[in-house]
Amino acid sequence: MLQCAAPARCRRKNPTMKIGELARAAQTPVDTIRYYEREGLLPAAPRSDGNYRLYSPDHAERLAFVRHCRSLDMTLDEIRALLRVKDAPQAPCTDVNTLLDAHITHVATRIRELRQLEKQLKALRQQCAGASDAAHCGILTGLAQATHPPGAVSGRKMCQ
């Protein structure tokens, strides 16, 4: 849970933080906080007489939730769906389970794609074993071969 950046304010009945204090406490750029507000992930903060945004501990908790979801590579739409359920504590969590299952499937697919990409890059790297001039670089030649399907690399090594 986020700690209040201004301990004296935390002791008040209704502690508030300006956006810079929230940003420091959450280790989140101010622009990101504003972006999350625009995207509806954080409720708009009330304004002070001086027109400063005033954030409550509830804002800090919600920001921490959003940041944790983002660290798990969840999309903003996925986070919005989770927040809708979170904001309705009596709602069943079946939608949360379904969303997370779909996200796990998406992550597994990306891992497979990244492993395939790694194989393609390693095969391309093997086309150039040593220092050579660019005109004879097997990697550049392999990258330039537009007639081959993605990932296919010529069998000959040009760099020696």
CATH of the domain at 46: 1.10.1660.10
Query: What residue numbers bound the domain in which 26 lies?
Result: 7-91
Helix (H, G, I), strand (E, B) or coil at 55: strand
Does 137 fall in a domain? no
Question: What is the value of pTM for the model shown?
Answer: 0.73
Q: Is residue 142 part of a domain?
A: no
Specify the number of domains making up the chain.
1
Burial bucket for residue 89 (CB in 10 Å: 0-12, 13-18, 19+): exposed
Span 155-160, average pLDDT: 54
Q: Does some domain include residue 64?
A: yes
pLDDT value of residue 146:
56
Residue at 105 is within a domain: no
Q: Is residue 116 part of a domain?
A: no
Taking residues 8-37, report their average pLDDT: 83
Q: How confident is the model at residue 58 (pLDDT cuts 50, 70, 90)?
A: very high
Cα–Cα distance between 56 and 85 in angstroms, integer?
21
Q: Say if 149 falls within a structural domain.
A: no
Give dist(CA 98, CA 125) in Å, integer.
40
